[in-house]
Amino acid sequence: MGSLLIKNVLLDGKTTDILIEDHRFKSLSAPAGTAADEVIDAAGMAIFPPFYNTHTHAAMSLLRGYADDMPLMKWLQDYIWPYENKMTRSDIMEGSRLAVREMIKSGTVFFSDMYFDIEETISVVQEYGMRAAVGVTFVGSHSKSQQTEKLDMLHHWVDPSGGLITLTVAPHAIYTVGPDLLVKCAATARELGLKLHIHLSETRSEVDDCVREHGMTPVRYLDFLGFLGPDVIAAHVVHVDEEEASILARRGVTISHCPCSNLKLASGIFPYRMLHEAGCRITLGTDGDSSNNNLDMREEMKFAALVAKMDSGDPEVMPAGEALDMATRCGAEAFGIDAGVIAEGKLADALLVRLDDERMQPCHSLVSNWVYAAGSSCIDTVICNGKVLMRNREL
């Protein structure tokens, strides 16, 4: 791996040269005359950490716009599931490619995925050089032999990318996976040192059904099963009470907040202030293209911040810097990726953002402009693990 020099870039209000070597930020103030294998002149651009999307279904980009503006169960039963039943491996390849291209062009270098086939997604991620945590998905309707096959895959998988791709153990949800399989998933993840990825408390009916069936709410149920821990990524977490918030905080669970999907399906409003005040680790996800309908984490930050202010009735809730932190550093940390901030020694993941774009002007606050005003067209360059994935908006 060679070296990359980013010249004349704006960082913390100053123009500087940044040297990347061996995948990491070697110096944030490289002296004049520093040589490197590749040089980018970033005059007129600022450097930002890129996005880490903690919950999506990449291949579902093929279903973008296929079914909108309808209730969740009608959407799933009459449209999404019948479509998915006809999807081939080549469809999954095509959908994953569309999603990966869309993500890089909107500044995302990592995503945590959950889908029913994974080889195609992994191959596209590797081809484009981004990071991913790809979920091996478990649902109760799988046969014993399918489950065994998935467990085998988890035990024997070797990362083809040299550190950019991991697997996660992904039981779909408490309403599609029984308690025994949930416990087995947790045990497997802990044995192999992998993360667990699950949908949790997304809708009111999920909560009501869980109380009826198990006599307790979903978070309490998963805690009762010993499932919850710092290795769990729980997507949505819309319908929880204060005690559940404190359970999630105590267990160190990572929440993947997906505001657009929750709003679009009218699932409910994420109780940001309560979960934040309880001390939960909150990250940001887009969910799939089929319920969002894009994978644009910049747009997702704005939705998260504005809806949190509205819901709490307090415009001071989730200031711009907090939204940015959630979409960058917190996501990277949750998956143990030593990146997500622009700092010496960290893995070199970064965006170069054009400051001459009208939306980035004037520059009273770079962070506010980036979170509230920018569009993905402001992103000039995307760097992942020291490698340039996009330059001048060309992949």
Please report, as ranges, the residues that interact with a copy of itself according to CB under 8 A.
61-66, 68-72, 75, 98, 101-102, 105-106, 260, 262-266, 268-269, 289, 292-294, 296, 299, 302-303, 305-307, 309-310, 312-320, 358-359, 361-366, 368-369, 372-377, 393
Looking at the Cβ atoms of 253 and 374, the one nearer to a copy of itself is 374
Shortest Cβ 326–a copy of itself spacing (Å): 14
Give the three-class secondary structure for 134: strand
Shortest Cβ 144–a copy of itself spacing (Å): 36
Looking at the Cβ atoms of 63 and 348, the one nearer to a copy of itself is 63
- Residue partners of 172: CB distance under 8 A and separation at least 6: 114, 137, 138, 139, 198, 199
Shortest Cβ 230–a copy of itself spacing (Å): 30
CA distances 380 to 26, 52, 241, Å, are: 22, 18, 42
Looking at the Cβ atoms of 4 and 307, the one nearer to a copy of itself is 307
Shortest Cβ 333–a copy of itself spacing (Å): 23
Given a contact cutoff of 8 angstroms between Cβ atoms, the answer to whether 51 and 331 are in contact is yes
Shortest Cβ 137–a copy of itself spacing (Å): 23
Looking at the Cβ atoms of 23 and 302, the one nearer to a copy of itself is 302
Tokens of 213: 């069936």
Q: What share of the chain is helix, strand, coil (3-state, %, to 5)?
A: 40, 25, 35
Phi-psi map region of 12: left, alpha, beta (phi>0 left; psi -120 to 50 alpha) = left
Give the three-class secondary structure for 295: coil
Residues paired with residue 6 on neighbouring β-strands, in sequence order: 18, 40
- Residue partners of 368: CB distance under 8 A and separation at least 6: 320
Shortest Cβ 315–a copy of itself spacing (Å): 4
Shortest Cβ 354–a copy of itself spacing (Å): 12
Looking at the Cβ atoms of 84 and 102, the one nearer to a copy of itself is 102
Is the dihedral angle over the CA atoms 324, 329, 330, 335 positive or is it negative?
A: positive
Looking at the Cβ atoms of 345 and 362, the one nearer to a copy of itself is 362
- Residue partners of 180: CB distance under 8 A and separation at least 6: none
Looking at the Cβ atoms of 107 and 135, the one nearer to a copy of itself is 107
